[in-house]
Structure 1
């Protein structure tokens, strides 16, 4: 399996190279040259396995320069040995009405990013041995809330790796911020950024293609990489849980092998739903991929119109991990939709950089419509959904998951589609306890941990151990930067022993 760049199809690199470097030198994203294909026998074999073995089976199709032993060890370390609260890393809950909820938040940071970021460090270390000749890796992460903590936790203490995380000041939930600024480990650094997530992400991308920064880091024996979903090593583990959810549906006899299933995905940077697209392209029987947006509805509008236009108001919502206007992973989808035309992708990305918008031609829009459907719901609707879901079926959800519930209701009302649907639940409600309490009509305490305790007492849901432990954690990182100050801080951090 070889990989190329969305902006330079002449490139041909191994998966180790793609994972170790994170992003291509010209700014494009690494993608597989060919998407592997599975058949019914392969899928049936997957159904009989535990989650780590399922991960190994899927990863082996994409990461062909890793040995089977390396992949098995990495999957076992990531998804067993008490890393996740549940015995099953990605349990599926049946709501008994044709809806199933894939709970992706039972990992150490209570968010779906753990599903990839508990595995990525193991892949990164193996990739570095092959591709970087012993150089130190400096990982840069721009986060809208969840990726930062999950990456910090995954890479904490990993030898030969440093990680710097940048989050929007006043743009994440209090619990998300506390998770990051109390992070243990000597190889980590955390910075707040004046501005929003797009400002942080744009600056990180600029640093990756800045020859001056790259040269100065190289003099210190340091190579940049990424733990955002722009890194293929972050994205490929997410493909696994689409297959696993389908296998669980077969296992509980909710569907027959070969029956189609829809997936409903709350997403901002487009990585989570893109993993589902790759699963479908591989041969997983997926009907529609339903893209759920909050008030920052640039993706939903793109799904409807074929025009991506980030020239719009930016809203701070109760689902902050989706407060994004520049969705980086959409570039990978564009590459597939336009027939792998790197020049066309590069032109669209240049137009986005210059004018914050681009449009796709009718033939690309037709391919988009074949696989995707998009919708959006605002905070007020989400509050009602959180309360209704708890009141009527006794199921507690976080604000991001409520976006998916709301958009799925829109989809069914518009299409009448009765295909069984898996809704991806991306975070524990205790990461947004104040917002969830407000939605339930309860008093919202000013203190975050008082809110956590009140939510548990009011609903009977247990507080995740990793969130409870934060109450006594020491704050380590308080620095706030302007985006243009990020390159200097990165070089200072890289030079520290």
Structure 2
């Protein structure tokens, strides 16, 4: 399997080149040159596999044995530190909740990030070449990357991670600032959730650098994330006693940068029997607006919410969705994304909007609505959700899925969001949860570890966002140079 760009299908590279680059050389996103077609017979065989076996089997379709041997792939796709089922399903009314958060940092990002970092660690060791990983996080990607790099203990890997100051939960901040790994450097920047995306993209496109972006524009992330869609479909089919392939499963998920959504769309394009992929978003609602009206317009400012991890103004994986929506029309995607890069705006025609709406739906959930659905599900089903899962559950209600068979993705443990959960269900309920065995012991221990002050990128209010980003980029380059000199 080789990889190409969403903006130029004449580009062709290996899996190693794609995953180690982050962005494609033309500024597009890497995608497989072709998506394999999965037959019903193959799905029936996959239904017999556990999660790790399924992950290895699916990844082998995208990673040749000449690049990653069978023993190497087996070592990469392991799930130590996860729940035995890796992704257990809970029944909440008529809905199945696929809990994607039973990893080391209590969020779904562990499912993709740990494998991506292990791939990068393997290639760095093979080449005897130092590699610096760059991350900007709205709350969960950063801790997953920090944990994965710390656990890899590979002297060839270092990580520079950025988070928006004051816009992630205190638990998520502590996951970053309590790390004692010498290979990790943490920065807080005074800006919105995705304001570091442009500086990092500029750095990744620097010629001759050995830097890799591991946010969900990296092809390794959606490749890994398609696995839990396949797993969820097979488990629901098993419980509902469906004949595999005969019925489709709609899935509702909280949506930020659309990486998880892109993984699901790729799985659907491969023939996995998925119906509508439905996005739950908060008031930072560009995904909802484009799915309902075709207007993909960045908002002038990021609004603070109780579900900060999905605060996104320009979700970069929309580019992959457009690529598959247009049947891999790289010319049209290049035209569209050139416009987005220049103006932060794109208006889909009625024809393309109707195409988009055949596969996708969405709902916008306010903080008040998120709190209401959290209380309702707790009171009626004694099931406690984090604010992002609650946004998805609110979307499921708004879109009419209550009383129907569908799946909701639970993307994080409520243990990470004391402030938001307490606001929704009250301190007494939070205290009961915190004292129960559902609150991970390792999470409780982390709360008492000392924090290390992060580096700060200041926001000079006399400058434009673009000018501040230029300064942040220069600071990031200086930090990377120091990290590489120490390696």
TM-score (norm 1): 0.90
Task: Determine whether 1:473 maps to 2:449.
Answer: yes
> Quick one: structure 1 residues 419 and 262, their matched pair in 2 at CA, closer, same or farther if it must change by over 3 Å?
farther
Superposition deviation, residue 145 in structure 1:
0.6
Aligned match of 1:240: 227
1:450-484: CA deviation from partner (whole Å, max 9, x where unpaired) = x9656424xx4632122111123122342111442
Which one of the candidate residues 154, 159, 169 is aligned to 1:158?
154
Q: Deviations over 1:178-203 (max 9, x none)?
A: 11011131111110011012211221
Q: Distance in 2 between matches of 1:329 and 1:304?
A: 18
Unaligned runs of at least 5 residues, structure 2:
459-468
Aligned pairs (5 A) from 1:93-104: 93-95=90-92, 97-104=93-100
Matched, 1:369 2:352: no
1:113 aligns with 2:91: no
1:149 and 2:140 equivalent?
Answer: no
Cα 1:36–1:42, aligned 2, differ >3 Å: closer, same or farther?
A: same
Deviations 1:415-443 (A, max 9, x none): xx975211000011110012111111337
Q: Is the 8 A contact 2:161 2:186 kept in 1?
A: yes
- Cα distance in 2 for residues equivalent to 1:101 and 1:256: 21
Contact 1:17–1:127 at 8 Å: present in 2 too?
no
User: Is 1:386–1:397's contact at 8 Å kept on the other side of the alignment?
Assistant: yes
Is the Cα–Cα contact under 8 Å of residues 56 and 77 in structure 2 kept in the other structure?
yes
Match of 1:319 among 298, 301, 307: 307
Structure-2 residue corresponding to 1:190? 186
Distance 1:462 1:263 in 2: 25
Equivalent in the alignment of 1:208: 204
Residue 229 of structure 1 deviates from its aligned partner by 0.8
Alignment partner of 1:456 out of 424, 427, 434: 434
Cα–Cα, structure 1 residues 18 and 379, in superposed 2: closer, same or farther, change >3 Å? same
Q: Choose the corresponding residue for 1:302, options 260, 265, 290.
A: 290
Q: Which residue of 2 aligns with 1:428?
A: 413
Partner of 2:173: 177
Q: Counterpart in 2 of 1:44? A: 44
Counterpart in 2 of 1:264?
252
- The Cα shift of 1:11 comes to 0.7
Distance in 2 of aligned mates of 1:418 and 1:383: 21
Can you list the C-alpha shifts for 1:394-422, whole angstroms capped at 9, x where unaligned? 10101001100111111117xxx975211
* Structure 1 residues 390 and 465: alpha-carbon distance in aligned structure 2, compared to 1, 3 A threshold: same
- Give the deviation of 1:273 after TM superposition: 1.2
Partner SS state of residue 476, structure 1: coil
CA contact (8 A) 1:141 1:165 kept: yes
User: Deviation of residue 9 (structure 1)?
Assistant: 1.7
CA pair 477-347 structure 1, distance change in 2 beyond 3 A? farther
Deviations for 1:2-61, whole angstroms, at most 9, x for unmatched residues?
110112221101112111222222221100111111111111111111110011111111
Aligned length: 468
- Runs of 5+ in structure 1 lacking a partner? 444-450
Closer, same or farther in 2 for the Cα pair 1:274/1:205, shift >3 Å?
same
Q: Does 1:140 align with 2:134?
A: yes
- Root-mean-square deviation (CA), in Å? 1.9
The 10-residue stretch of structure 1 (188-197 or 200-209) with the greater mean CA deviation from structure 2: 200-209
* Deviation digits for residues 54-113 of structure 1 (CA, Å, limit 9, x no counterpart): 11111111112433332222223xx13xx11x2111101122x33000001111101110
In 1: Cα distance, 2:114 partner to 2:265 partner: 22
- Stretch deviating more after TM superposition (468-477 or 400-409): 468-477
Q: Given the superposition, is the C-alpha separation of residues 474 and 441 from structure 1 closer, same or farther in structure 2, using an over 3 Å criterion?
A: closer
- Matched residue, 1:446: none
Asked if residue 495 in structure 1 is aligned to residue 471 in structure 2, the reply is: no
User: C-alpha displacement at 1:361, in angstroms?
Assistant: 2.9
Please give the alpha-carbon distance, in whole angstroms, between the structure 2 residues aligned to 1:137 and 1:338: 35
Q: Distance in 2 between matches of 1:350 and 1:40?
A: 39
- 1:343-392 per-residue CA deviation (whole Å, 9 max, x = no partner) reads 33233223223221112233332321111011111000000111111101
